Amino acid sequence: MFEQIRANKRKSVALIAAFVVLLVLVGAAIGVLVGYGIAGTIIALVLAGTMAALSYWKSDAIALRVSRAQPADPDQYRRLHNLVEGLCIASGLPKPAVYIVDDPAPNAFATGRDPKHAAIAVTTGLLEKMNRVELEGVLAHELSHVRNYDILVSTLTVTLVGSIAILTDLGIRMMWWNGGRVRRSGDRNDSGNPLALIGFALLIFAPIIAKLMQAAVSRKRETLADVSACQMTRYPPGLISALEKLRDDTTVTHSSTTATAHLWIEQPMSGVADKGRLGRFHQMFDTHPPLEERIELLREL
């Protein structure tokens, strides 16, 4: 397990680097298509550096705000705070900030850049539908993400995926309204420029590539967090029961977005487990392994 944690850290560095490279390429493509050339690439580099820095320092706050999370009152949510404190003492972690999301769907996520700057958010639906042992299993899963340093790459991904989506949308709109330098000059012979064609293709496919990378960020980390949670609580049936309830519940988590979907303990968006003709295609973009697979793995412990 500890080797897997180290491998995840190495993969995290590679994935974040890949996100930054993709962000730079998108910016450079916009520069080529609207006629800014090298200047566009320089702007893209500056923007990528700025977004990476913003992601590191502020993406946890962004994720919490996007999810409409509010600080959990210690008196009103005493049981929740007690469970988090107990698990932190048992695992040697500093207590993270605890948040509540007003949403009827049972779900939870962790965010932050390291264990000293972490936060856990749970929905009101989770508190209503889980008993104490099940809730402890879910919280242990999220604290495992904190202990395994999954939260850093997962939280950075929120901002980087959103940045790529915004940039590609902006680039396509600029092309639509302005036509780029080539078109304004009236020289249509350059419209077949290979660089321009590559740039246009990149703008179209960059959001899809970013989604595939987002899915790669989360899948193995979820399984590892499940196993780590059982090690933390020393009671696998608690998390197994919680995952079974999550599997059987069909409520959509309205507080989630496509950018934050990978943060939650289960796939929060609608359309999960599509068995139609495009089911295999849709599974490529799933941010979580199937709950049934996770449950079966825990039963083998």
Q: Which of 77, 73, 69 has its CA nearest to residue 128?
A: 77
Query: What is each CA distance from 4 to 7, 154, 204, 219, 266, in whole angstroms?
Result: 5, 16, 34, 13, 21
More confident call, 215 vs 24: 24
CATH of the domain at 123: 3.30.2010.10
Q: If pLDDT is split at 50, 70 and 90, which confidence band does 99 have?
A: very high
Cβ atoms of 49 and 149 within 8 Å: the answer is: no
Residue 95 confidence (pLDDT): 96
Indicate whether 146 and 225 sit together in one domain. Answer: yes
> Bridge-partner residues for 101, per DSSP?
69, 123
Indicate whether 225 and 197 sit together in one domain. Answer: no
> Bridge-partner residues for 98, per DSSP?
120
Q: If pLDDT is split at 50, 70 and 90, which confidence band does 181 have?
A: very low
Indicate whether 109 and 46 sit together in one domain. Answer: no
Indicate whether 95 and 233 sit together in one domain. Answer: yes
DSSP per residue over 61-110, as a string? HHHHHHTTEEEPPTTTTHHHHHHHHHHHHHHTPPPPEEEEE--SS--EEE
What residues act catalytically? 142
Domain boundary (214, 245, 260) is at 214
Q: Is 272 left (phi over 0), alpha (psi -120 to 50) or beta?
A: beta
Read off the DSSP letter of residue 235: -
Residues in the chain: 301
> Bridge-partner residues for 108, per DSSP?
122
Indicate whether 222 and 122 sit together in one domain. Answer: yes
Residue 188 confidence (pLDDT): 44
Q: Which two tokens stand for residue 262?
A: 């990978």
The tally of domains found in the chain comes to 2
Indicate whether 230 and 277 sit together in one domain. Answer: yes
Indicate whether 119 and 243 sit together in one domain. Answer: yes
Domain that holds residue 200: 2-57+155-214
The amino acid present at 297, given as its one-letter code, is: L
- Number of neighbours of residue 153 by Cβ within 10 angstroms: 23
Percentage of the chain exceeding pLDDT 70: 72
* Mean pLDDT of all residues in 207-211: 73
Residue 250 confidence (pLDDT): 85
Most confident of the ranges 23-37, 72-86, 258-272, 275-289: 72-86
Report the SS3 class of residue 123: strand
Domain boundary (179, 199, 214) is at 214
According to DSSP, the β-strands at 117-123 and 97-101 are: parallel
DSSP per residue over 154-222, as a string? HHHHHHHHHHHHHHHHHHHHHHHHH-HHHHHHT-GGGGG-HHHHHHHHHHHHHHHHHHHHHHHHHHHHH
Indicate whether 102 and 222 sit together in one domain. Answer: yes
Indicate whether 228 and 144 sit together in one domain. Answer: yes
Indicate whether 132 and 244 sit together in one domain. Answer: yes
Indicate whether 9 and 109 sit together in one domain. Answer: no
The dihedral through the CA atoms of 8, 14, 20, 21 has a sign that is: negative
Indicate whether 119 and 250 sit together in one domain. Answer: yes
Q: Which two tokens stand for residue 210?
A: 């970013």
Cβ atoms of 131 and 153 within 8 Å: the answer is: no
Domain boundary (173, 191, 214) is at 214
